[in-house]
Structure 1
Amino acid sequence: MTQGPKTRIGAWLARPLASFHLVVTIAVMLTVLGLVMVLSASGVEQYTSGGSAYSLFIQQLIFAVLGSVLFYVALRIPARTLRRFSFPVFVIVLIMLVLVLIPGIGTAAQGARRWFTVGGFSLQPSELMKVVLAIWGAHLLASRRPDDNSVRTILIPLVPAALLVFALVVAQPNLSTTIALGIILGALLWFGGLPLKLFGTIAVTGVVLAGTLALTAGYRSDRVKSFFNPSDDLQGGNYQAKQALYSLADGRIFGVGLGQSAAKWNYLPNAHNDFIFAIIGEELGYVGCLVVLGLFAGFVYTGLRIAARSIDPFWRLLSATATTWIVGQAMINIGYVIGLLPVTGLQLPLVSAGGSSLAITLFMFGIIANAARHEPEAVAALQSGQDGKISRLLRLPMPVPYRASGAVRRVAPQRRNEQVRQAGQNRQRRQAPTRNTQDPQDIRERGIRR
């Protein structure tokens, strides 16, 4: 009997390493798309400024290679190592956030002091802090005793430390990264079990503070005013937003063709960075935009699936937080490109030009892929030699089952019969497989394997 498409997809998703394969595939597709679009969107501007049309693309490609190395490193790092060094690395990056504010050490550009520049390459410590805050915060919340659900253990020391980070990033000034860090903190508190009423209070307070900061600086207040008055100052504050909408409109359904954008001929500022989604819409059309949205939707599903299937609280919190951060940043970027939000300057993850952001985001994807390999059924499958081709090719270490209170929590190996491996029957078994009564199907299958 022929299986339908839904049945085949369900059977594939029921495989132990499906989450791992999805994360890797989405990371590769978004990175390749980003490289192609950065080359298309930046070539004209780089050439007219007197340089090579490929200069920004080559720089992005170098960081993509570096990010791929970081992705591989993240796949190999055990959870205990991440947790052990999370606080020391947090302190180091915190010191970097202080140093970058000092004239002569940090590099100033466009009215902000956010970068360290060495040998022509720049590094934003605030980008590093996104990853470090997520890892250290997940470690803190996962270190609580199972019976300790007090609000104090959730908030302290995580929230005071995060507020210090926010203050240093705002001083650069860099409100967009502060918003991204706020998303990370909010995700940690939400998935960490903060009571809904208190979480809502903190969220509202954060929105009010962000709005206040947006109205305190001239260029930020101009963006907010332009957003609420879209028909005013079309050659000034609203110029960039309107040009982005024109680009999307010109693309229609299938786009004008790759490399054929008119907006990138100095009509749309930052076409290769903040507004690269508009160039995607112009050259690849609404179909291309839907592909991008579909990839991020697939990432949401995969990241939250990994979190739901993880029994290690650290992997669960970290994968859920990282997914929320990356997708939240993507939705903010797309939101202001299409005119639903004020312009904030947040980049489209893995797609927009920006070496530090690309490399750090690929590292975070590697962390999520590592969490996928630690799903109980993935551990059981890898230890039994199933679906291990990619792991053997990459020489990845064997994942260790989660241990809590000195006991090893295991799951039985994935059933081989596709007809019984349906989503409703594909449950996680957290206890050792020894029991008084056994399923007849399990007995028959073990008999066949013997």
Structure 2
Amino acid sequence: MPTATKTGARKRVGLTALSPLTAWLTRPLASFHLLLAVFGLLTVFGLVMVLSASSVDSFNKDGSSYSVFSKQVMYCIAGLVLFYAALRVPVKLMRRYSLILLTICLGLLALVLTPLGTKLNGAQSWFVIAGVSFQPVEFAKVSFALWGAHVLVTKRGLMNQYRHLLVPVVPAALLMFTLVMLQPDLGSTITLFLVLLALLWFAGAPLRLFLMALLGAATAGVTLAMVADYRMARITAFLDPMADPTGNGFQARQALFALADGGLFGRGLGQGWSKWQYLPNVHNDFIFAVIGEELGFVGCAIVLALYGTTAYVGMRIAFRNTDPWIRLVSATLTTFLVGQAVINIGYVVGLLPTTGLPLPLISSGGSSVVTSMLVFGLLANFARHEPEAIAALRSLGPGRVGKLLRLPTPAPYRPPAKRRPARPTPRSRPGAKGSGAAATRRGGGDTRARGARSGPGSRAQTRGGHR
């Protein structure tokens, strides 16, 4: 068989293999269903790994292997409530009250610095109510994305002017950075900075602005590292983990050992050694090391594929929507969620300094899990607002998932009406008859009135009568 014929046959086979997936992705609600599938898989996978990673620590502290796991289940239930609320709330309502949400979050960030806040793990960034702790900064990230997108979309015709592009979004961000660093919490400040960069990037800010922002962030990072010994120790441990293998570099070193011990297929679920006090915070910040140890490279690849799919479907939702606010919020929230996962995995595998950020939907921790579920609920809501999805839902009905969840039919996006510029007052040519001030006073008002009532033709005739 000729080479060209073989190549054509291979292409046809490849297209045939991809055609079912391509056909499914062309469905109106493909983004919505794909996002629900990824959300469910990440939630279940996270619960299984939290149970495996926390069993030893839970038994040593509470006498039960399920204490951390049971708390994680309760947090997931609370997160599912927020997921469902975000899925049902009208988009116009989110945008209208985004400023109120941001103001509440700023108030909580200031309030947590008072004696009402609780200091845990060296940072006063928690509220503890009836034994349940939460971080207000996690919800501040989402509210800042909603409000920042509202401001930038409202000013989208003035984005070429720096004073409209930066004010008031950047001053509000700097205020949040200051409140969070007073706790202090550098990891949350980094994610807030990531939200700000995503807002400006997808709003169309010029590239030189990002170069200045990154330069300023690098300068601020070096300064903050120099004024705090523990931050400098993290940077030193990142640059040379073996310089202090039993001190500052212990966590990074043990995480690499756990990943190396897993190999291709891992030691088996629940069979890892790192959770036996060999790796601190194994069910929080370093749970990816347990995944690599117990499930191997295959388990790590599955996690990366799930977050990669999250990035794809989030950007797909952003690009397929026509509402500019939904487009900007979807892209920003997707960048924030996937960016936090990249940072967490990056410092576990030794590519970034340790920052203490959890792995979304997988690490144990109430605020992180609840906020991640809230973000997925918002993205799912935005997926149902794609023009093709709205047309299908309004013509064919809510579908199985919509009926099961009793979801309302989304309203189509209607762009705001453009204001017509006011018509200028007709002026007579200099030197023409009746062009004096008396003639203008006598006939100007009547001429404009008749022109407005009768249209351009009558206005031309009126002008002829004056002449």
Q: TM-score scaled by structure 1?
A: 0.88
> 2:159 touches 2:165 (CA, 8 Å); kept in 1?
no
Higher helix share: 2
Q: In the TM superposition, what is the alpha-carbon distance from 1:110 to its structure 2 partner?
A: 2.4
Match of 1:137 in 2: 148
Is 1:238 aligned to 2:249, yes or no? yes
The residue number in structure 2 matching 1:85 is 97
Q: Secondary structure at the match of 1:42?
A: helix
2:314 partner letter = G
Selected match of 1:73 from 85, 93, 103: 85
Identify which of 44, 51, 61 aligns with 1:32.
44
Amino acid at match of 1:8: P
Counterpart secondary structure, 1:231: helix
- 1:393 aligned partner, one-letter code: L
Quick one: distance in 1 between partners of 2:44 and 2:413? 34
Residue number in structure 2 paired with 1:52: 64
Q: What pairs with 1:75-114 in structure 2 (closer than 5 Å)?
A: 75-103=87-115, 105-114=116-125
Give the CA deviation at 1:145: 5.1
Does structure 1 residue 228 correspond to structure 2 residue 239? yes
Name the CA distance, whole Å, in 1 between partners of 2:312 and 2:350: 26
Aligned-partner SS, 1:384: helix
Q: Provide, for residues 298-321 of structure 1, a one-character-per-residue CA deviation record: whole Å limited to 9, x for no partner.
A: 111111111111110110000000
5 Å-filtered alignment, 1:147-166, equals 149-166=160-177
Aligned-pair identity in percent equals 53
Q: What residue is the counterpart of 1:437 in the other structure?
A: none
| Alignment-derived partner of residue 435 in structure 1 | none
1:318-365 Cα distance to aligned partner (Å, 9 max, x none): 000001001111001000000111101111111001111101110111
* One-letter amino acid matched to 1:298: T
The equivalent residue for 1:192 is: 203
Q: How many angstroms apart in 2 are the aligned matches of 1:285 and 1:101?
A: 42
Cα deviation 1:85-104 (Å, max 9, x = unaligned): 1111111110111110112x
Residues 242 and 253, structure 2, Cα contact 8 Å, conserved in 1 = no
What is the distance in 2 between the residues matched to 1:113 and 1:57?
25
Question: Aligned to 2:125, what secondary structure does the other structure show?
Answer: strand
Q: What is the distance in 1 between the residues matched to 2:393 and 2:29?
A: 9
1:356 is aligned to: 367
* Structure 1: distance between partners of 2:248 and 2:391: 57
Determine the structure 2 residue equivalent to 1:368: 379
Write the letter of the residue equivalent to 1:134.
Answer: A
Partner Cα separation in structure 1 for residue 151 and residue 105 of structure 2: 17
> For each residue in 1:231-272, what CA deviation from the matched residue of structure 2 results, as whole angstroms up to 9, or x when unmatched?
211010111111101110111011111111101000000000
- Rounded to whole Å, the distance in 2 between the matches of 1:369 and 1:110 is 34
Q: Contact (CA 8 Å) 1:335, 1:341: kept in 2 or not? A: yes
Answering whether residue 312 of structure 2 is matched by residue 313 of structure 1, we say no
Partner residue in 2 for 1:19:
31
Structure number with the bigger relative contact order (C-alpha 8 A, sep ≥ 6) is 1
Q: Deviations over 1:385-443 (max 9, x none)?
A: 16722112211111111111349xxxxxxxxxxxxxxxxxxxxxxxxxxxxxxxxxxxx
- Pairwise CA distance, 1:204: 2.2
Tell me how large the CA RMSD over aligned residues is: 1.5
User: Which amino acid is 2:285 matched to?
Assistant: D
Q: Which residue of 1 aligns with 2:355?
A: 344
- How many residue pairs end up in the alignment? 406
Q: Distance in 1 between matches of 2:407 and 2:67?
A: 34
Q: Which runs of 4+ in 1 moved over 6 A?
A: none
1:156-191 CA distance string (max 9 Å, x none): 100000100000000000000000000000000100
Alignment partner of 1:116: what SS? Answer: strand
Preserved contact between residue 23 and residue 299 of structure 1 (Cα < 8 Å): yes
Query: Partner residue of 2:458?
Result: none
Aligned to 2:409: 398
User: Which of the numbers 209, 212, 224 marks the counterpart of 2:223?
Assistant: 212
Structure 2 spans left out of the alignment, 5+ residues:
1-11, 419-467
Is the alpha carbon distance of 1:145 and 1:221 closer, same or farther for their aligned partners in structure 2, counting shifts above 3 Å?
Answer: closer
Show the counterpart of 2:263: 252
Residue equivalent to 2:304? 293
Structure 1: which amino acid aligns with 2:275? K
Corresponding position of 2:460: none
For the pair shown, the structure with the greater C-alpha radius of gyration is 2
User: What's the secondary structure of 1:108's corresponding residue?
Assistant: strand
Q: Is the 8 A contact 1:179 1:210 kept in 2?
A: no
* Long gaps (5+) in structure 1: 408-450
Residue-by-residue CA offset, 1:252-297 (whole Å, 9 max, x unaligned) = 0111111111010000000000000000000111000000000011
| Cα distance between partner residues in 1 of 2:127 and 2:379 | 28
Alignment equivalent of 1:120, drawn from 122, 131, 151: 131
Q: Is the 8 A contact 1:241 1:339 kept in 2?
A: yes
Structure 2 residue 314 is matched with structure 1 residue 303? yes
Say which SS state the counterpart of residue 122 (structure 1) adopts: strand
SS in 1 for 2:404: helix
Decide whether aligned partners of structure 1 residues 152 and 250 sit closer, same or farther in structure 2, where only a CA change above 3 A counts.
same
Distance 1:65 1:154 in 2: 39
- What residue number does 1:64 align with? 76
Instruction: State the distance in 2 between where 1:122 and 1:315 align.
Output: 31
| Residues 112-134 of structure 1, C-alpha deviations (whole Å, 9 max, x = no match) | 10100011110101111111111
Q: Which amino acid aligns with 1:106?
A: G
Aligned equivalents of 1:405 and 1:231: distance in 2?
A: 60
Quote the residue 1:416 is aligned against: none
Amino acid at match of 1:21: H
Aligned amino acid, residue 126 of structure 1: V
Hey, what's the Cα distance between the residues in 2 that align with 1:198 and 1:37?
41
CA separation in 2, counterparts of 1:372 and 1:395? 16
